[in-house]
């Protein structure tokens, strides 16, 4: 069970979730008009700033023995990673604005940065699950897009909810978080992505 939980934690590591999200968005009929080159550029852009740069920094911290695992289980080790990730995400948002991505896509990206900022602040007092918050934001983002574009991808909804439950169960199986930490992380990501874009 621990091996399966580890695989789930790696496959759905927080640095991969934005990449999964943008690929899912670009597969919608709304973006059908975009040429393949443009879609590829956007995916590579997101991969660079939300996956490769934070991932490379995570690897360097691990090699320097600043962190003891790629899951960054100790909350004291998470501050610098939060800061780097937030800055990298903001750069990605700026480039989104430069290439004139739809306003609601930029809002969703800002929501992710806001969730990370909230977790950075919470981390001073309590260790919240980044994995759960990431998959929760993905699910919340799916609900927001479905409402905005008037679509009803029931199968995708159910699959996403199942993945979210699996990720939370995996974090509990590995004993890196308590039940409260994974539930609060999931709810933070989920509700921020549903309601915060309307506030902005």
Rg (CA), the chain: 16
The pLDDT assigned to 85 comes to 87
The pLDDT assigned to 137 comes to 93
Q: Which 3 state secondary structure label does DSSP give 152?
A: coil
Angle between helices 79-98 and 36-46 in degrees, nearest 10: 160
The pLDDT assigned to 75 comes to 66
Residue 1 per-residue DSSP state: -
The pLDDT assigned to 136 comes to 94
Cα–Cα distance for residue pair 110/90, rounded to 1 Å? 8
The pLDDT assigned to 71 comes to 63
Could you read off the pLDDT tens digit of each residue along the chain, which spans 200 residues?
Answer: 788 988 898 899 888 999 999 999 998 888 888 899 999 999 999 999 988 998 888 888 877 777 776 666 666 767 788 888 899 999 999 999 998 888 888 888 888 889 999 998 998 888 889 899 999 999 999 888 888 888 888 888 899 999 999 999 999 998 888 999 999 999 999 988 888 766 65
Lookup: tokens for 26:
């670009």
């Amino acid at each position: 069970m621990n091996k399966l939980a580890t695989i789930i934690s790696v496959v759905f590591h927080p640095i991969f979730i934005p990449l999964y999200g943008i690929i899912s968005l670009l597969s919608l009929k709304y973006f059908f008009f975009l040429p393949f080159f443009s879609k590829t550029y956007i995916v590579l852009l997101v991969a660079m700033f939300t996956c490769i740069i934070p991932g490379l920094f995570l690897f360097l911290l691990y090699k320097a023995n600043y962190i003891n695992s790629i899951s960054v289980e100790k909350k004291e080790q998470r501050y610098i990673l939060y800061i780097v990730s937030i800055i990298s995400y903001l750069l990605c948002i700026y480039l989104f604005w430069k290439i004139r991505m739809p306003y609601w896509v930029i809002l969703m990206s800002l929501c992710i940065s806001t969730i990370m900022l909230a977790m950075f602040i919470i981390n001073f007092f309590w260790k919240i699950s980044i994995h759960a918050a990431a998959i929760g934001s993905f699910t919340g983002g799916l609900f927001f897009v479905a409402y905005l574009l008037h679509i009803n991808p029931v199968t995708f909804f159910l699959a996403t909810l199942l993945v979210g439950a699996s990720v939370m169960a995996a974090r509990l199986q590995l004993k890196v978080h308590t039940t409260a930490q994974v539930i609060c992380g999931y709810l933070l990501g989920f509700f921020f992505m549903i309601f915060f874009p309307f506030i902005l």
